[in-house]
Structure 1
């Protein structure tokens, strides 16, 4: 790593010296490249709101940051965001976002273009996955802590929205037709991955179509050992249409299609995801109305084939889980004079879960069928006076869970044996208060207090059945219709820094620092009864989660540096791996990206360093050679790209350049082996032509 950074410093210093003498240093970016807004080394996503200007713990991952990691690894891009991590599964391509050590079961709202992703199953994995193709993303917006608007309904720790490409992301300014075609190749099992997108604008209408294909093989770790069952066969596509009859009206329709085949949790799996959206905006330009109405439908289906490792193909063969979700939200902003504005609205979503646990016992097993819904009314009222902003947030969420099942005698919760039914509702009032001050144009400190809650899910409330003997010791699972919602209350102290022309006429400096402390009550984990059997239960007492998050950087045009840091301290009850998974973040996570722009800023070269400290896994998960702490690790990645006048872009990435042997923190072991699961040194090359 020292050699890589020394080499980069020499290149950066050389270009810096020449840039001060040459007018080429202020040359405009090549055609099609956007101005750098968020200090990103490549192309910036100009559609996202500037996170450095908001008094909240928010971050934006642009398309450029996704490309920085080879364009195919969302886990690494999310883990490079302060306070944000993922439950890594080398065999399951789904994304499970962890914010401040809380993950799964809706603690973090995950959405695709605003569509709730509530698909989850109970097993040796995260308690919920989002399936989306990184090649078709425009960016990811992350909100940590209490989240305003529709995304905050029922969310305990934050939200992550995966934004797919829209016509505006593909069409150049003023163009009526355009698109791109690209192909990536990677060694270490990567193979070829083509992608194409095209958009047209005719009158008031705009249309977009995009498609992607990727079929990587098993990859190797730093020792050259194959990490088994890490291949997949992914096919995905997008269809978008927008209608703008005037500046006041906008209607957008979209479909996101995803199909993937892989082996995870010991079984061949097929995932099919269909996301449909209808969005309407009415913005007449006055003070009273700035309206947005969204409706959506989500259909995610998982099918189990046979197991390549268990006897007779495994007793779970034939499992099917389907989550059909529908929802809508409506939000309006009213401005009352110069100093007062209010954004208010309603949101509702409903999920219908239908499960068949195996071909042998279709109606009896750990993954239940049932329905759940949340309705929410919310508002955020901002008073701006002088150098101060005061934001009062009000939210009321009400949930409903229903379903039925069968429970055996002698269960630890004292339920009568036989059939039972659950029909539970509840609600909570969750306010927030933010006070921000802007004493200088470039400085904004703020203080925020908030409450959040997360209602129990169908999976937690209605779980039942037995663990199959062919996959380990038999274990009986029980429902818990008496679960209470999780609750969190706490504060954040933050500072935003944003200024230009610090050392040069064309440079910029951005930074965001957040210190937080949350008290969590009734935290839900798997609980084991003294007489045997397991169920999801509320832990007594209050748990404290606190930490520090830092992100930002300096961009001088010819060179740039981005820095991130997270410190997390949590005493949440640890989750037993095997019925869900523990979600403690590493104590410390560091990240640094350094780069230079050469050849009139057409060529970008750089290196990224990341350091993950040791991470606690819980005493319950320390067995055999394992310890309650997993070791930390350092990684170095290298990247370069060149943009031609013709619209051709060439990109090269080297992930894990030092070929470090490691297992990612918060990682699910690869089934059937004990090898380290961190990907070894991997080259990837991309050619993309924009027209």
Structure 2
């Protein structure tokens, strides 16, 4: 706790000095509103009667690689909804119960900063499987969040943006949950919001109920309010694909049946226009694949916004915890009654100042973000002490991050420049057990080692609103991420599998693109919004795992003979059964580049949204992704291209919406289910050719502002296909029956009530 206290003090001190300095400057500045009569050039005002100001339209009009969506009245799964965004995907794993966002082929802690209400997520899911090598579990990062609580998702790709960019190599994804104003209709004091969904073919049913209140306190816009929401699901776990084959034959079993429950509580206290306080708690409970999952997330947020352009401050303190308790021999015969625990403390504080000078509008943000995360495992019974040491189940370790960041935004007439910089320091530490006498490793004895490094990360975004139809932008960003405890302390061969020289990843990303806004394009009152861009990312010190065969002998002369002779296997100098998997930095550069397009046309009666992504990369494949090598992660390379087209019409005074969602997915890869290796020992992949075109139909009927009814038919043509980046595609079980893993035709009904 002493180290955490020091980190918090380090972050709070510069923010405090900044606030004192800005306050003094503001107090010394005299009002001068009547002395300047200079003409100002304003940007064109964007007005359209066809669409509301939604997160999606805001992202389309914002310069840079931003995407967003609203999911509050959507019957689609959260994975399906996210995959309609350009450059954004998900890592699907039905055994996890979590959402894992992929940005441009990168996913996991540090590569994508996944957040819920601005709080970074670091949950590491561990799902037992009886089909993998040694019954080792499937593992991956994610967020345990109930989809019924999500209102919107905002994604930032390949550019810096204050605290969101700390330990975020590819970008960030922030899920916004229900707020009081999402439950209560203004100016009511109380409100209720409820939603329910039922579906066949393995969807099951779920429901959510939220109660809220908001009571005015004084004439200065003060109020106190709160909400409490409860959600529950009943998910059968198995389903049928387009060929009518039950998923229990190729992907699932009886342990996939689940009944997750979740709760959300928030309290808002606004004293006046200056002070506002928010407290939030979110809880999740589930039993899935022979483990009990319990997560708890808390945060407290304070905003100070006096009538002063130099002060707009926010401080957010959060705590996240997760417990995974494994029953019996779910982790295999060698480990019993396992437990995995994770806890993260975080603080993010910043202030934004706004002022004008020589016809230039400035917005300056200065802040600090601190995160302290701990992972710990415990096993009640192990067959031997050596088994406990040489086992990659839930690697233990700590990761501390301390950062300071600044952002300056300058607006002059039609031009905007945004300059970002942050300094991030990481400290990853844990225990390395002693190596066996036959192994050459450093250090050979037991030791506590630390991976420490710090660096500056600059970025710039330039844009111009030349005309509404052409608003170009260009950006450059240098970003970094710390090694994770799961990489540094992976231990299938104990200390020999741990790399005390592992370095963090760095990325340089260049983006060029433009926004386009055109009202009255075809008919009066319609509007077209478009964002198109090209990006190129170059990654240094890319972290991935490789496999090595260990020499059996320890004598130096025999050891060198083993290493340098091709007949080592023939002479039994090596033991093919002793394979060491170790995470290392790739000596070669890894590049990601591609194109993204999103267009939204709305004419009131008719609407259509197009999303298209095309990407190429040369990412090396981690051997530990394979189901016969402990399944620590999964392939994250995006399909060669993918497209979604959401089109429909509005009838009955726009109360009835009838639409279709068309999805086209190009060639994609999967890890070979059999775990085949090439001559270098690297894991091999197989390519899926282009998947068939999938068509979903939906209808939404708004009876009044209180009641909405929804109906969906997914995969209406009942095509047999596989979702890209689905863990089931590479499972050991599917090698027995090579089946397509996606659902066949599925019907869903839903309703939402708010009053």
**Of 525, 539, 542, which residue of structure 2 is paired with 1:523?**
542
**Of 157, 175, 195, which residue of structure 1 is paired with 2:208?**
195
Query: Can you list the C-alpha shifts for 1:603-627, whole angstroms capped at 9, x where unaligned?
Result: 0110000111111347898749x96
Question: Per the alignment, in what secondary structure is the counterpart of residue 382 of structure 2?
Answer: coil
Does residue 668 of structure 1 match 2:727?
yes
Partner Cα distance (2:440, 2:422) in 1: 33
Question: Per the alignment, in what secondary structure is the counterpart of residue 430 of structure 1?
Answer: strand
Q: Using the TM superposition, give the Cα deviation of residue 646 of structure 1 relative to its aligned residue in structure 2, in angstroms.
A: 6.6
Query: Can you list the C-alpha shifts for 1:325-367, whole angstroms capped at 9, x where unaligned?
Result: 0111112111231422212211111112111256326953313
Instruction: Give the equivalent residue in structure 2 for 1:51.
Output: 59
**Of 510, 525, 533, which residue of structure 1 is paired with 2:580?**
533
Instruction: Give the equivalent residue in structure 1 for 2:28.
Output: none
Query: Can you list the C-alpha shifts for 1:3-27, whole angstroms capped at 9, x where unaligned?
Result: xxxxxxxxxxxxxxxxxxxxxxxxx
Instruction: Give the equivalent residue in structure 2 for 1:628.
Output: 686
Partner Cα distance (1:619, 1:493) in 2: 36
Partner Cα distance (2:496, 2:62) in 1: 45
**Of 52, 62, 71, which residue of structure 2 is paired with 1:63?**
71
Closer, same or farther: CA 597–315 of 1 in aligned 2, 3 Å: farther
Task: Extract unaligned runs of 5+ from structure 2.
Answer: 1-46, 127-135, 217-222, 551-578, 627-631, 678-683
Larger radius of gyration: 2
Instruction: Give the equivalent residue in structure 2 for 1:460.
Output: 487
CA contact (8 A) 1:105 1:127 kept: no
Question: Per the alignment, in what secondary structure is the counterpart of residue 494 of structure 1?
Answer: strand
Instruction: Give the equivalent residue in structure 2 for 1:679.
Output: 743
CA contact (8 A) 1:574 1:617 kept: no
Does residue 381 of structure 1 match 2:408?
yes
Instruction: Give the equivalent residue in structure 2 for 1:253.
Output: 279
Residues 322-337 of structure 1: matches in 2 within 5 Å? Answer: 322-337=341-356
CA contact (8 A) 1:402 1:421 kept: yes
CA contact (8 A) 2:329 2:337 kept: no
Instruction: Give the equivalent residue in structure 1 for 2:714.
Output: 655
Query: Can you list the C-alpha shifts for 1:584-620, whole angstroms capped at 9, x where unaligned?
Result: 1001001100111101110011000011111134789
Question: Per the alignment, in what secondary structure is the counterpart of residue 120 of structure 1?
Answer: strand
Partner Cα distance (1:48, 1:376) in 2: 30
Q: Using the TM superposition, give the Cα deviation of residue 236 of structure 1 relative to its aligned residue in structure 2, in angstroms.
A: 0.6
Q: Using the TM superposition, give the Cα deviation of residue 38 of structure 1 relative to its aligned residue in structure 2, in angstroms.
A: 12
Query: Can you list the C-alpha shifts for 1:518-568, whole angstroms capped at 9, x where unaligned?
Result: 110110011112433111110102111101111121001111000000001
Instruction: Tell me whether 298-307 or 532-541 shows the greater mean CA deviation.
Output: 298-307
CA contact (8 A) 2:56 2:69 kept: no
Closer, same or farther: CA 638–127 of 1 in aligned 2, 3 Å: same
Q: TM-score if structure 2 supplies the norm length?
A: 0.80
Residues 107-506 of structure 1: matches in 2 within 5 Å? Answer: 107-120=111-124, 125=138, 127-203=140-216, 204-217=223-236, 218-227=238-247, 228-229=252-253, 230-263=256-289, 268-306=290-328, 314-337=333-356, 338-356=360-378, 359-360=381-382, 364=389, 365-366=391-392, 367-409=394-436, 414-465=441-492, 478-506=497-525
**Of 531, 538, 544, which residue of structure 2 is paired with 1:512?**
531
Q: Using the TM superposition, give the Cα deviation of residue 89 of structure 1 relative to its aligned residue in structure 2, in angstroms.
A: 0.9
Partner Cα distance (2:482, 2:60) in 1: 31
Instruction: Give the equivalent residue in structure 2 for 1:570.
Output: 617
Instruction: Give the equivalent residue in structure 2 for 1:92.
Output: 96
Closer, same or farther: CA 45–419 of 1 in aligned 2, 3 Å: farther
Instruction: Tell me whether 372-381 or 118-127 shows the greater mean CA deviation.
Output: 118-127
Q: Using the TM superposition, give the Cα deviation of residue 287 of structure 1 relative to its aligned residue in structure 2, in angstroms.
A: 1.6
Partner Cα distance (1:380, 1:412) in 2: 50
Q: TM-score if structure 1 supplies the norm length?
A: 0.87
Closer, same or farther: CA 277–222 of 1 in aligned 2, 3 Å: same
Task: Extract unaligned runs of 5+ from structure 1.
Answer: 1-35, 467-474
Query: Can you list the C-alpha shifts for 1:629-678, whole angstroms capped at 9, x where unaligned?
Result: 12331211111011112722110011111212122111112564444321
How many residues end up aligned between the 2 structures? 634
Query: Can you list the C-alpha shifts for 1:310-333, whole angstroms capped at 9, x where unaligned?
Result: 8xx643442211111011111211
Question: Per the alignment, in what secondary structure is the counterpart of residue 344 of structure 1?
Answer: strand
CA contact (8 A) 1:45 1:62 kept: no
Partner Cα distance (2:116, 2:593) in 1: 28
Q: Using the TM superposition, give the Cα deviation of residue 478 of structure 1 relative to its aligned residue in structure 2, in angstroms.
A: 0.9
Partner Cα distance (1:38, 1:433) in 2: 34
Query: Can you list the C-alpha shifts for 1:20-63, whole angstroms capped at 9, x where unaligned?
Result: xxxxxxxxxxxxxxxx99998xxx78478811232221111212
Instruction: Give the equivalent residue in structure 1 for 2:669.
Output: 616
Question: Per the alignment, in what secondary structure is the counterpart of residue 727 of structure 2?
Answer: coil
CA contact (8 A) 1:91 1:231 kept: no
Partner Cα distance (2:57, 2:371) in 1: 25
Partner Cα distance (1:627, 1:456) in 2: 25
Partner Cα distance (2:123, 2:114) in 1: 10
Instruction: Tell me whether 77-86 or 278-287 shows the greater mean CA deviation.
Output: 278-287
Question: Per the alignment, in what secondary structure is the counterpart of residue 221 of structure 1?
Answer: coil
Q: Using the TM superposition, give the Cα deviation of residue 480 of structure 1 relative to its aligned residue in structure 2, in angstroms.
A: 1.1
Q: Using the TM superposition, give the Cα deviation of residue 285 of structure 1 relative to its aligned residue in structure 2, in angstroms.
A: 3.5
Q: Using the TM superposition, give the Cα deviation of residue 417 of structure 1 relative to its aligned residue in structure 2, in angstroms.
A: 3.4
Q: Using the TM superposition, give the Cα deviation of residue 423 of structure 1 relative to its aligned residue in structure 2, in angstroms.
A: 2.3
CA contact (8 A) 2:355 2:363 kept: yes
Partner Cα distance (1:658, 1:49) in 2: 31
Instruction: Give the equivalent residue in structure 2 for 1:7.
Output: none
